[in-house]
Amino acid sequence: MPLRTLPALALGLALLAPAAADVRESAIHAAFVLNFARYVEWPAGALSPERVLDVCFLSAAEPVGREIAAFKDRPVQGQRVEVHRGVRVADLGECDVVYLGEQDEYRLQEALRALTGQPVLTVGSLKGFAPAGGMIGLYREADRVRFEVNLDAVNRNGLRLSAQLLKLARIVHSGDTP
């Protein structure tokens, strides 16, 4: 009977969890998202005149959206950061920055299509995000987070990224195999 092994499994489980403080990938992604926004030049008039930078998440359950709340007090390019979670695809065009994560796998194409030609910075963590038409894709190399930039996508939407940022990025193109 598998029942008899249960207490042993429970004990094993308890031992598996070390108490050390973790550096969560989602927290690093959140820090990256706001940092990227410091190196982006939006076309004139694209940012709201109320000096608010709207950072949007498609999925309300996206952990990065939850993490970013801890960072949003620092203004970005003089703009106050406002976080919106659970934004409908049709409303993504109203945002300045959109983050698309693991939860959005099945809405990614639709979201990117909705943002075609819009001056909205897209950051994503799904594999192949940048080659699929996203602007900045976050990926992991060993235990470090890296990023790649699809310049065609950036330029097509009228944004400009600073050379300082591009220097640190891997450059990819639309349609590259991820």
Partner 1 sequence: MRLAIRLLAGLAAALALLPAAAAEAPLAELSIEELLNIEVTSVSKKPQRLSESASAVFVITQEDIRRSGATSVPELLRMVPGANVSRINANSWAVSIRGFNNQFANKLLVLQDGRALYTPLFAGVIWEVQNPMLEDVERIEVIRGPGAAVWGANAVNGVINIITKHSGDTQGGLAVAGAGTEERAFGAYRQGIALGEDRYLRLYAKAAETDASPRLGGGAGADDGRGLRAGFRSDQAIEAGSLTVLGDVYRVGAGDTFSVTSLAPPYGAVLREDKAFAGAHLLGRWQRTLAGGDTVSLQGYLDHTRMESPQILEETRNTLDLELQHRLRLGTSQDMIWGLGYRHSRDSITGGETYQFNPTSARTDLISAFLQDEIGLVPERWRLILGARAEHDERTGFQLQPNARLLWTPETGHSLWAAVSRAVRTPSRTERDARVNFLVLPPVPPSLPATQFSMLGNRDLQAEKLLALDLGYRGQLGPRLGLELAAFRYRYEDVIRRTHGTPVVEGAHVLVPFVWQNIDKGETWGGEAALDWRLSDTARAALAYSYLDADFFIGDQPKHSASLRSPSTSRRARSWISGSSAPAPSRRA
Q: Quick one: 43 or 175, whose CB is closer to partner 1?
A: 175
Given 37, 40, 56, 85, the residue binding partner 1 (CB under 8 A) = 85
d(CA 149, CA 152): 9
Question: Which among 102, 136, 96, 133 is positioned nearest to 25, based on CA atoms?
Answer: 102
Q: Give yes or no for a contact between 76 and 52, defined as CB atoms under 8 angstroms apart.
A: no
Shortest Cβ distance from residue 95 to partner 1 (Å)? 15
Contact by Cβ (8 Å): 132, 109: yes
CB of 45 to partner 1, least distance (A): 25
Pick from 52, 102, 118, 152 the residue near partner 1 by CB under 8 A.
Answer: 102
Q: Report how far apart the first and last C-alpha atoms of the chain are (Å, whole number).
A: 46
Q: How many CB atoms are located within 10 Å of the residue 117 CB?
A: 9
Binding residue (CB under 8 A) for partner 1 from 37, 55, 58, 92 = 58
Nearest distance in Å: CB 96, partner 1 = 18
Q: Are 151 and 162 in contact (CB under 8 A)?
A: no
- Site for partner 1, rule CB under 8 A: 1-3, 6-7, 9-10, 13-14, 16-28, 30-32, 34-36, 39, 58-61, 63, 66, 69-71, 74, 85-86, 102-103, 105-107, 109-110, 113, 116, 127, 140, 143-146, 165, 168, 174-175, 177-178
